[in-house]
């Protein structure tokens, strides 16, 4: 009982601290540069190295834990001593990488950031956010995408176990996002030099829609499902980085509109949306599993046509509607792009220069 209480407390603290670190980390992008294309490079670099980190942990966790357990106990298994050693290693790496950002980067304190009007208190900060229509529209589009994404990824194991009848092949669903993420992330700034991110976002959504279409057409065909997974995961980093950049560029949009610069609050929006989607994930998965009869001792042979239809509706049809809605919201309401951001920065600099001249 005491262990569980301590575990919950430590987990909550870890989650809160991680959120603070995450917001601060991505907050370095607007703090370092006000150029949209430079921000694209920094965002891609952060996403790429982050992908190496969390995918790398997934790859090394079992062999590292097993090796340390063997070293201390003589048994090749995932024992307590192995997990303790692994936790220490990850904690040290976490501190070193966090400190490298904290002490290795320098915020740009001139120009737009230094002359921005302070909000004064959290109420004024959130009021300024509410007035930032571009941030709100990007947030809505991203929320629709994030919920649809977790609704599908959360039930992929059940797709392999109960629909395909091939649970041993589920590792494919883990390998594909690693390969696609590491392959597409470095390409983002290169493509963005020639293709506006608005169209990169649209192309990414189109690929996801194609993937959902294949899931729906042939959910019992493993080769088709693999192709669908590739189409589903291929644009994930592109979509997420576009959302990050659009929210980041909305900082200057809000500053021009309200006179107040809200970096921390603005950049906390995306992590908050990810947490909302993550919180919904468990509920969605539980509902789908029960509704489709994928519980107890049921096997793929026990699945009826009605069970498969229920599963497809919850795992593919409804998330597909969310993806389409996300794309429609983005195309119809999100106006801020690279060119618009450049004009906003020019207007801000001219306004601030004029105000400085008036003071003299």
Domains of the chain, with CATH numbers?
Answer: 2-102+111-359 (1.20.1250)
* pLDDT for 173 beyond 90: no
* pLDDT for 18 beyond 90: no
Predicted pLDDT at 331: 95
* pLDDT for 12 beyond 80: yes
Mean pLDDT of all residues in 25-38: 83
The CA-based diameter of the chain, rounded to the nearest angstrom, is: 81
* pLDDT for 37 beyond 80: yes
Token pair for 86: 């692994």
Q: Which residue has the higher pLDDT, 223 or 130?
A: 223
Predicted pLDDT at 3: 83
Predicted pLDDT at 125: 67
Predicted pLDDT at 7: 85
Predicted pLDDT at 119: 56
Predicted pLDDT at 318: 94
**pLDDT tens column, 107-146:** 776 666 665 555 556 677 677 778 899 999 999 999 999 9
* pLDDT for 49 beyond 70: yes
Mean pLDDT of all residues in 163-185: 87
Predicted pLDDT at 114: 62
Report d(CA 294, CA 196) in Å as an integer.
43
**pLDDT tens column, 237-270:** 999 999 989 999 998 898 888 877 877 778 788 8
Burial class from Cβ neighbours inside 10 Å (0-12, 13-18, 19+) for residue 208 reads buried
* pLDDT for 92 beyond 60: yes
The SS3 call for residue 231 is helix
Within 10 Å of residue 162's Cβ, how many Cβ atoms? 24
Three-state SS sequence of 123-185: HHHHHHHHCCHHHHHHHHHHHHHHHHHHHHHCCHHHHHHHHCCCHHHCCHHHHHHHHHHHHHC
pTM exceeding the 0.85 threshold for the entire prediction: no
Average per-residue pLDDT in the chain?
87
Predicted pLDDT at 120: 57
Report d(CA 208, CA 158) in Å as an integer.
20
**pLDDT tens column, 347-357:** 988 887 787 77
Report d(CA 157, CA 171) in Å as an integer.
9
Segment (H or E) for 344: helix 338-359
Predicted pLDDT at 209: 97
**pLDDT tens column, 264-305:** 778 788 888 888 888 888 788 888 889 999 988 888 888 999
Predicted pLDDT at 121: 65
Mean pLDDT of all residues in 208-233: 96
């Amino acid at each position: 009982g005491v262990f569980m209480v301590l575990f919950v407390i430590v987990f909550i603290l870890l989650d809160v601290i991680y959120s603070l670190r995450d917001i601060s980390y991505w907050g370095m992008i607007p703090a370092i540069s006000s150029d949209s294309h430079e921000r694209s490079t920094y965002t891609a670099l952060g996403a790429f190295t982050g992908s190496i980190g969390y995918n790398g942990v997934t790859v090394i966790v079992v062999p590292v834990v097993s090796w340390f357990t063997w070293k201390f106990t003589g048994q090749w298994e995932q024992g307590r001593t192995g997990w303790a050693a692994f936790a220490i290693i990850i904690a040290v790496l976490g501190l070193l990488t966090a400190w490298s950002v904290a002490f290795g980067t320098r915020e740009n304190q001139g120009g737009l950031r230094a002359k921005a009007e302070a909000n004064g208190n959290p109420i004024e900060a959130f009021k300024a956010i509410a007035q930032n229509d571009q941030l709100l529209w990007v947030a809505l589009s991203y929320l629709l995408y994030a919920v649809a994404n977790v609704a599908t990824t959360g039930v992929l194991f059940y797709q392999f176990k109960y629909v395909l009848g091939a649970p041993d092949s589920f590792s494919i669903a883990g390998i594909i996002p690693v390969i696609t993420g590491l392959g597409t992330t470095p390409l983002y700034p290169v493509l963005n030099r020639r293709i506006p991110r608005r169209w990169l976002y649209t192309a990414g959504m189109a690929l996801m829609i194609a993937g959902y279409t294949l899931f729906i057409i042939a959910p019992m065909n493993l080769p088709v499902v693999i192709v669908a997974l590739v189409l589903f995961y291929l644009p994930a980093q592109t979509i997420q980085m576009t959302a990050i950049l659009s929210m980041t560029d909305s900082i200057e949009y809000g500053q021009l509109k309200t006179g107040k610069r809200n970096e921390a609050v603005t950049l906390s929006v995306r992590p908050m949306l990810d947490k909302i989607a993550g919180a919904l994930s468990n509920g969605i998965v539980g509902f789908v599993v029960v509704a489709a009869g994928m519980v107890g001792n049921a096997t793929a042979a026990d699945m009826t046509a009605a069970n498969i239809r229920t599963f497809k509706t919850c795992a593919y049809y409804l998330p597909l509607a969310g993806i389409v809605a996300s794309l429609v919201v983005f195309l119809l309401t999100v106006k801020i792009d690279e060119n618009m951001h450049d004009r906003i920065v020019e207007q801000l600099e001219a306004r601030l220069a004029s105000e400085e001249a008036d003071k003299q």
